[in-house]
Structure 1
Amino acid sequence: MNDDQATPNPTKDRKFVEALSRGLDVLRAFSQGSVVLGNQDISRITGLPKPTVSRMTYTLTKLGYLAYSPQLEKYQLDSGVLALGYAYVSNLRVRQLAKPYLDEFARNTNTSVGLTCRDRLSMIYVENCRPAEITSLRMDVGVRLPLATTAAGRAYLAAMKEEERRHVMSSLAERHPDTWPELKQQLEESFRDYEKYGFCLSLGDWDRNVNAAGVALHLQDGTLMALTCGAPTYLVSEEKVKNQLAHQLAILARDIERLGV
């Protein structure tokens, strides 16, 4: 079963539509890295029975969310998914208002800076700005980052309500059984950093060649997002991230929050 996030238990929620949940799980399977998937691949990723997957892929193809290749006998995402994603990003007011601030921050600090939201056990970029000098850290809109090892994910976790964070931490433990003790220790250290300094760090933890900082962003409607800035280690040292960039990023987050989004 795909444990990217513990989904609501339909046996505990009478309003929960299990068939819809399964259809969305089929679509989410394509976020695991493969461009094209067959029914057997989707069944393996989602844990759903193959006959169920076959009905879901047939329906999603009819609705324009999947396209079927007779040559490959596999499916890929179709334009219906793109339309939904574009509608979300284009109508995200915080993205529109924050972009000039992100552009200026990227120019002044020579780092890649991004606005992210959570999807299960991942953070997804909804905006990213970077100077021309940083060509090796390309994070386009829609790129997914792991929740546990990135600065953005750690900051998001640190700012979550305690009960919800425990729920997500349990899902992370299930997903990373072999490395969980070490990963849990790193996360707890990040939470202490957030409580003390207002930011979290990822110094080679996600990518050994990248140093990054992350801060939570609280929107007026209660939505929680995260800002992150980072650069290759040869451009930005650990000391600079800790002592300068992380603090500047925290100030940027407060500036964006004051926009009233």
Structure 2
Amino acid sequence: MNDDLETSPATPAEPKDRKFVEALSRGLDVLRAFSQGAVVMGNQDIARITGLPKPTVSRMTYTLTKLGYLSYSPQLEKYQLDSGVLALGYAYVSNLRVRQLAKPYMDEFARTTNTSVGLTCRDRLSMIYVENCRPAETTSLRMDVGVRLPLATTAAGRAYLAAMKDEERAHVLAAIESRNPEQWPEWRAQLDDCFEDFRQHGFCLSLGNWDRNVNAAGVPLYLQDGTIMALTCGAPSYLVSEEKVKNQLAHQLAMLARDIERLGV
């Protein structure tokens, strides 16, 4: 089973929750399988990714196709996401008030620092871009809305983890470790350093840890409803040095987050 699915709110292994609709959960797991990189997949591919029985997957893909969330190619005998999923995603992003209010501030920050500035939210073991601003005609990072980032190695993920409550963070870190046992000792040491940076300075760094050619900083963004998101800024390492990210941009990004929070989002 893939790592994103392991941190779902409830699983059949947990005590039964009468309010929890398992069939709906499985249907959503089928849709999430397409976030693993493949554009088109057959029932066998989906069953392998989700860990669901193939007959269950067949019923789910049939139903989701009827509802307009998947489309089926008779030639390929495979499925792909359909417009129903796009409509849901667009409705979420377009109605996200913090995105609308933060964008002018993010645009200005991107222009003055010559970096790519992102607003991200967490989905299980990933962070997802809901907005990205970059200066025109530059070689800054281009990260489109919907792009997923790993929690452990990116500035966005690290900032989010640092802002989580201890018990919830421990649960998420255990899930990351279980899926990445070989990388975990190195990642754990890096995360401990990041959490210390956060305690002292209010930001987290990813200096070539996610991509060896990218330096980035991340800070949590606290919304009034209790939601936590993450702001990031980053650029290729040949444009922005580690020293500049740590000593200048990260501090400026923390100030940007506080400015956005003062908007009452």
Instruction: Give me the TM-score of the superposition, normalised by structure 1.
Output: 0.98
Please tell me whether residue 141 in structure 1 is matched to residue 142 in structure 2: no
**Which residue of structure 2 aligns with residue 3 of structure 1?**
3
Determine which of 169, 180, 183 is the counterpart of 2:184.
180
Deviation at 1:136, TM superposition (A): 5.7
In structure 1, C-alpha distance between the alignment counterparts of 2:113 and 2:103, rounded to whole Å:
15
Instruction: Give me the TM-score of the superposition, normalised by structure 2.
Output: 0.97
Find runs of 4+ consecutive structure 1 residues off by over 4 angstroms. Answer: none
**Which residue of structure 2 aligns with residue 61 of structure 1?**
65
In structure 2, C-alpha distance between the alignment counterparts of 1:113 and 1:49, rounded to whole Å:
41
Determine which of 119, 128, 142 is the counterpart of 1:115.
119
Match runs of 1:132-171 below 5 Å = 132-135=136-139, 137-171=141-175
**8 Å contact from structure 1 (residues 113, 229) kept in 2:** yes
**Which residue of structure 2 aligns with residue 237 of structure 1?**
241
Determine which of 227, 233, 252 is the counterpart of 1:248.
252
In structure 2, C-alpha distance between the alignment counterparts of 1:39 and 1:161, rounded to whole Å:
38
Structure 2 residue matching 1:249: 3-state secondary structure: helix
Structure 1 residue matching 2:178: 3-state secondary structure: helix
Note the residue ranges of structure 1 that are not aligned, 5 or more in a row.
none
Please tell me whether residue 105 in structure 1 is matched to residue 109 in structure 2: yes
**8 Å contact from structure 1 (residues 191, 200) kept in 2:** yes
Deviation at 1:188, TM superposition (A): 1.2
Residues matched between the structures, number: 261
Deviation at 1:189, TM superposition (A): 1.0
Structure 2 residue matching 1:217: 3-state secondary structure: strand
Note the residue ranges of structure 2 that are not aligned, 5 or more in a row.
none
Q: Root-mean-square deviation (CA), in Å?
A: 1.0
Determine which of 25, 29, 32 is the counterpart of 1:21.
25
**Which residue of structure 2 aligns with residue 215 of structure 1?**
219
Structure 1 residue matching 2:132: 3-state secondary structure: strand
Deviates more, 1:133-142 or 1:237-246: 133-142
In structure 1, C-alpha distance between the alignment counterparts of 2:147 and 2:233, rounded to whole Å:
15
**8 Å contact from structure 1 (residues 112, 134) kept in 2:** no
**Which residue of structure 2 aligns with residue 260 of structure 1?**
264
Determine which of 80, 87, 92 is the counterpart of 1:88.
92
- Percent identity of paired positions between Structure 1 and Structure 2: 84
Deviation at 1:63, TM superposition (A): 0.4
**Which residue of structure 1 aligns with residue 193 of structure 2?**
189
Structure 1 residue matching 2:3: 3-state secondary structure: coil
